[in-house]
Amino acid sequence: MNAGEISMNTKGLDNKITELFSNGSRTLLNLGLISLGSLIFVIGMNGILVPHGFLSGGIVGLSILIHYLFPVASVGILYFLLNIPMAILGWLNISRRFMLYTLFGTVFFSVVAATYFPQFPMIQDPILAALSAGVICGVGAGLILRSLGSAGGSDIIAVYLFNKYGLGIGTVTFGISAAILLTGAYFHDLHMTLYSLIYLFTQGKITDAIMIGFNQRKTLMIITDQAETIAQKILQRGRSATFLKGVGAYSGKERKIIYTVTNFLELPQIKEFIFKQDPDAFVVVYETLEVLGKSYGTGRMF
């Protein structure tokens, strides 16, 4: 074996070691997100939601409802048992990697829910209690779903619809939960069920914010006579830009239209140097839900 072959083998070994550590780091990150998110969710559930008699949606809501009807039954144990058929459904329809993480999340969530009962002062105003629970549980659910898995339950259905149709996970969860609440209202206190809608709406919005808020961008369409100069300044800021061909409807003049994507922080600065370079520029700013690509990530979590 010559020096070149030894060097190539060494590089190959180094790449494998790097890949192994990288995969291990990602695995630990995902398990950490699931664990932290589950803990935060349980704090909101066992600390505020259940003590105030609120309902939730999905498998969690069904577990809580059964717990109200039969107090001897633990929410955590019920949640685990009810997730068995959901796990089978997910195993057949969602990636195995996602389901392995989800199995971990289901077990971890069930254990924490069955053993951890934080004590909070009772919030006298039920609306404030519902909002507080919604924020805490929404953060927990969002962190869980930022990983490559979930904590089971209706998240499996929500993830399937997210992958298939791009529907917001928080919105889907809210829809499923609302349907379950209609059933729960018959067996539980109607007023508490109505307050629970406030909790679910808040949780859904917070979950969506955690899920897509970090990748939300602004899309700009810039019509200017200084397209080359402005595009160069955008490129110097580390952003990409694309020229589109346009023709003025009134003037019939051909010109380049700049298409670019930026974030909230850079938007004011970009607008400033656009109009400094060309006061007559025409800029259209679009709300962009998500950006996928080499510079922004694949966005695929499941």
Cβ neighbours, 10 Å, residue 210? 21
Name every residue whose Cβ is closer than 8 Å to that of residue 287 and which is 6 or more positions away in sequence: 218
Q: Are residues 165 and 89 in the same domain?
A: yes
Which of 57, 274, 33, 75 minimizes the C-alpha distance to 185? 57
pLDDT value at residue 13: 45
Domains identified in the chain, total number: 2
Q: Are residues 195 and 245 in the same domain?
A: no
pLDDT value at residue 207: 84
Query: Which of 214, 242, 273 represents a domain boundary (last residue)?
Result: 214
108 falls within a domain: yes
Give the DSSP H/E element, type plus range, for residue 282.
strand 282-288
CATH code, domain with 249? 3.30.70.120
Per the structure, the complete domain to which residue 257 belongs is given by 216-288
Q: Are residues 74 and 146 in the same domain?
A: yes
Q: Are residues 251 and 203 in the same domain?
A: no
Which residues of the chain fall short of a pLDDT of 70? 1-23, 155, 169-170, 212-216, 265, 289-302
Q: Are residues 59 and 205 in the same domain?
A: yes
